[in-house]
Structure formats: structure tokens, C-alpha cells
Amino acid sequence: MNVQGAAHKYGDHIDTDVIIPARYLNTQDHKELASHCMEDIDKEFVKKVQPGDILVAGVNFGCGSSREHAPVAIKASGVSCVIAANFARIFYRNSINIGLAILECPAASSAIENGDKVAVDFDTGVITNLTKNETYQAEPFPPFIKDMIEKGGLMASLKAGKGNA
């Protein structure tokens, strides 16, 4: 699977409160959540984001609250993949469970700039910066997680009766 889009670049420790502020947690509607995505850190994000675009951030992306509304809002806003130096563990777990593609790649995290055109090949983990003509190698998923993603996430995996590690 391949995706391609423009990069939206953010810094370190992007917490789930700025990804989707708690004042909007009285809804579970994906479109409504998406309409407030990143609102407290970048009011322009929802106006700029195009289907397929890629979020790029530094360390500890998704720290804080366990709200699954955060990866849901990002996915529903059209983002195809989040690339970060590393992720907070609950966000990492939630993203895999709901099928939001995420990649850990410190090299890509530091080199990609806002607006760069980026392509991702999930099979190889190769991230290509089309603007700068550079490539970066992301950490591949462990087989257990890859298997879960291929089955369609945690619930589908459980339903298939093969949720065991």
C-alpha cells in the first residue's frame, strides 16, 4: 500500500488535548471531530488539509489523554499517515486498533518540512520526500501488529478468533 500527500509539520509532545480538545468530547461523530482537529495548535489545519496528506511530528506524539477521538479526528480529516520520531504508547495502540497508519522514523521527522510532498510505501517502510528528493527508512511493524492491521484492526481480529499474540 502506498500513500502520498503534503506534509503538515508539528513539534515535540503534541498532546491529544490539542489534537482534539475535550470540549468536543461530547460527540463521537467522526466528521464533527475532524472539523476541530488540531484546532488548539493550528486553527488553519482543517482548512488546509487535503485527503491523503501526512502529519509529521517530533517525539512523543499523542501524549496525554487516552481519548480515541484523537486518532479518529486525524483519520477522518483525511490524513493518510502520521510520521513521528516516536509516539506515546496509548496513541500508538489506539491508532493500530482503529487502522490509522503511523510510522516511527526520526530521520523523516527531522528532515521533512512543512508543505513537502511525501510518499510512503507501507510494505517496505520507505518514506520518500518528493520535494527534497530524499528517502528515509521507517521502523517496520512487528509481525503481530502487521497481522492485526491486515485483519482490519483489533475488533475484526478478535471476531476472527485470532486475537492472540
Partner 1 sequence: MGMTMTQKILAKHAGLESVRAGQLIQAKLDLVLGNDITTPVAINEFEAAGFDHVFDKSKIALVMDHFVPNKDIKAATQCKQCRTFARRFDIDNYFDVGEMGIEHALLPEKGLVAPGETVIGADSHTCTYGALGAFSTGGGSTDMAAAMASGELWFKVPSAIRVHLTGKRKPFVSGKDVILTLIGKIGVDGARYQSLEFTGPGVAELSIYDRLTISNMAIEAGAKNGIFPVDDITRAYVEGRVDRSWTAFEADPDAEYERTVEMDLSQVDCTVAYPHLPENAHPAREGKEIFIDQIVIGSCTNGQLPDMAAAAAILKGKHLAKGVRGIIIPATMSVYRECMRQGYTDIFMDAGCVVSTPTCGPCLGGYMGILAAGERCVSTTNRNFVGRMGHVDSEVYLASPAVAAASGIAGHICHPADL
Positions touching partner 1 (CB under 8 A) are 13, 15, 17-18, 21-23, 25-28, 40-41, 59-60, 63-69, 72, 86, 88-90, 93-94, 97-98, 142, 144, 153-156, 158-159, 163-165
Q: Minimum distance from CB of 112 to partner 1 (Å)? A: 20
Instruction: Measure Cα distances from 165 to 61, 122, 148 in Å.
Output: 26, 22, 10
Taking the least distance from each CB to partner 1, the nearer of 51 and 142 is: 142
Closest to partner 1 by CB, 18 vs 111, is: 18
Cβ-contact 83, 105 below 8 angstroms? yes
Q: Which is nearer to partner 1, 20 or 127 (CB)?
A: 20
Packing angle between helix 89-98 and helix 69-76, nearest 10 degrees? 50
Taken in order 75, 80, 84, 86, the sign of the CA dihedral is positive
